[in-house]
Structure 1
């Protein structure tokens, strides 16, 4: 008789392995890292990153603060990811731009206000196109009265999964990893019409693409 194994049962081991992996990476932060301290004093923020850089950016964030609220898809894989993130200190909300998005955004806003957590948003996820920002982050930042903090990571030694849509980056243990934190971006207080959303999203996308050097 085949006994089914729930992949989420491996979350404790994955979280332990992640923490161990993070300890080996030599992060070199540049830019507006002081905003993380301002957040601890009550200034709302949303961290913006590319989907392919989830691992190195989350790893860097873990060395600074895990007092975050993170979006995770409602898929089976998302359940494993959510349990791992919760074990390293994150609060998670389930939803994406393709499923449960508005509900997740509103829940994240409540968590940000009630628990003083920064939100983490993969702005080209969950399915791309790669490095094309979507507008959910603008909606969340305006509703939460938050600034958007662009972050990029460039590990020197890495494995890049070129066949994945996001070119997922896995930093190798003991690598050097420059991290670039852009100046916090204020979001307009105008009504978020289609044109306004397109303008603000393009402004954030340009900042992300100019941040650091490939």
Structure 2
């Protein structure tokens, strides 16, 4: 039975805010992000699906659009994100993915937004970069910002495809923003996209060792 988002989203939003308010955040590399945003230079934040939970609590004045699944769960998530001040484009790799990325890229250009995408979502393989962030950055154009969110204490859902992490209350959260960079690719030709995917993969892998 489908429950109306108007009933589900407000308590989920309240729970998220309350949960994140207990966490102890530390951010590295944020200064360069804020400097780019002050100059209204767009960015695409690229992160792993299992690490996304704590991130939106520290978006502050960043204006962000993110791609959200067209599923019922995605409808609830979109409602919560809206209350957090985010914009959403609806779609996934299996349902309306290209349409959602096109919508997100238009919103970035027309409304001066940053993009945020879980680069191994929505179904994996885990920690393997897909093309979505490259697509957004090339079409905008925008800087790419690799992001890792490391949680000192978390509940890891081992049976989930991404081994999703839920930070335990009062745990330490370390958010590492990699150095923003621009793509070398001049087009979305397959060979160039594949090369850029490899570059982002290496940067995310290295950032996890920070």
Does TM, normalized by the shorter one, top 0.5? Answer: yes
Residue by residue over 1:130-171, the C-alpha shift from the partner in whole angstroms, topping out at 9 and shown as x without a partner, is: 001001211110100101111111111111111101010101
Counterparts in 2 of 1:149-188, with a 5 A limit?
149-188=145-184
Tell me the equivalent position of 1:30.
28
CA contact (8 A) 1:40 1:116 kept: no
Match of 1:100 among 93, 96, 101: 96
Give the distance between the partners of 1:47 and 1:33, measured in 2 at CA. 15
Counterparts in 2 of 1:1-214, with a 5 A limit?
4=1, 6=3, 8=5, 9-61=7-59, 64-65=60-61, 67-213=63-209
Closer, same or farther: CA 5–72 of 1 in aligned 2, 3 Å: closer
Structure 1 unaligned spans of 5+:
none
CA contact (8 A) 1:73 1:96 kept: yes
Question: How does the TM-score come out when normalised to structure 1?
Answer: 0.91
Computed over aligned residues only, the root mean square deviation of the Cα atoms, in angstroms, reads 1.7
Question: How does the TM-score come out when normalised to structure 2?
Answer: 0.93
Greater displacement, 103-112 / 33-42 = 33-42
Structure 2 unaligned spans of 5+:
none
The alignment of Structure 1 onto Structure 2 pairs a total of residues equal to 209
Give the distance between the partners of 2:14 and 2:30, measured in 1 at CA. 29
